[in-house]
Amino acid sequence: MSVQHDKERFPKTQQRIAQALQPESKCFQFGADAPLELDGGGVLPSLTIAYQTYGELNAERSNAILVCHALTGDQHAANVHPVTGKPGWWSTMVGPGKPVDTTRYFVLCANIIGGCMGSTGPGSIDPATGRPYGLDFPVITIGDMVRAQVRLLDHLGIDKLLAVIGGSMGGMQVLELAAKYGERVFAAVAIATSARHSSQNIAFHEVGRQAVMADPKWCGGRYLEEGVIPRKGLAVARMAAHITYLSDAALQDKFGRQLQDREGLTFGFDADFQVESYLRYQGYGFVDRFDANSYLYITRAMDYFDLHADYDGVLANAFKGTKTRFCVVSFTSDWLYPTRESRQIVQALNAVAADVSFVEIESDKGHDAFLLEEPEFFATVSGFLNAAAERRGLAPAAPNSESRTV
């Protein structure tokens, strides 16, 4: 399988496709003797999970933290990304001396099923046909993603996590894991997320999916076999989504109505404004590291997520009897997952007398604030994890110690 027509023009895209089949990270293969049954009724007869680890697992296996990535993330949370060459998507948060301190914790981040960096997804080879799955890949849910991660925990011999942490779609996985496998989670940090997608969020995702499928190079989902990539459609989907990750204030402060490398309007359809150029850069850069079909499947999984519905329409029922300690974080300028949705989670936890902390952080950076430098956010996560570690009996981090990847 090669991108014969686009390979020379877009070498990074080819690198990403190679990573999907032979990732530069740890992998675990579940064979046909352990198929993964899916919420939608489908089955994955075999399953590969690609993952990264940071720090060292202690002898008691009690210091493990699972980091769940968002829609456009992957397992490369705190290492140099093998395709882009840039630092991992959460290098601000994970590392020695950082809030998720790898001198103290063993940190695990897995590429979700349906992803495109080594875990089984629509770009993987279907063992039944020898071709990429494409749209033959079964529709998946957040629950399916979490079920696969639990299998990975079993493989690694981790019976109980010190904590699970994630933002956006990662926060959905946190809630799912805490609800369905609460006995395996000591503490949970749900950031900038929701227990179910709003109609507005479903609408934004549908715009993105239609943009991908309208690209002639999508080829009904069989573009890998045709040697082409629906770059334009996926780039437009990313541009539309990226706007939702920012706030009006952040866009205005950064760009305003400033022109891009010109002194006046061109009276045409080039990128006259800096914000237009920025969105195009974001869109086409995204295509280099992400798969179009994965985008369809993952956004669909997010739209289907509804923890209320899973428990007879009562969110509190999802956490009845929970012993997990929760921290819920929102940002004032996040209009994609506004604070009111975090408050609904907190209210449900309070209704069952769960141990929950809630912090709304003042920020003008929008939804993406959890990926950026936010000192109050860092302090919140660090303090919560330190308290959980102390409660579980972990020794303090040694001064000037260094982590090592295992």
Single-letter code of the amino acid located at 155 = H
Residue 334 designated active-site? yes
Among residues 205, 367, 368, 403, the one annotated as catalytic is 367
Among residues 62, 119, 168, 330, the one annotated as catalytic is 168
Bridge pairing between strands 43-44 and 36-37: antiparallel
d(CA 196, CA 304): 8
Consecutive H or E run containing 294 = helix 292-304
DSSP β-bridge partners for residue 52: 109
Taking a C-beta distance cutoff of 8 angstroms, is the pair 328, 187 a contact?
A: no
Of residues 328, 99, 56, 8, the one with CA closest to residue 193: 328
CB environment 285-314: b (16+ within 10 A), e (fewer): ebbbbbbbbbbbbbbbbbbbbbbbebbeee
Of residues 100, 92, 104, the one with CA closest to residue 382: 100
d(CA 221, CA 132): 10
Other CB atoms within 10 A of residue 41 CB: 8
Residue 367 designated active-site? yes
Taking a C-beta distance cutoff of 8 angstroms, is the pair 122, 137 a contact?
A: yes
d(CA 205, CA 168): 14
Among residues 310, 334, 363, 403, the one annotated as catalytic is 334
Residue 168 designated active-site? yes
C-alpha R_g of the chain = 21
DSSP β-bridge partners for residue 358: 328
Of residues 148, 195, 149, the one with CA closest to residue 169: 195
Q: Which residues are catalytic?
A: 168, 334, 367
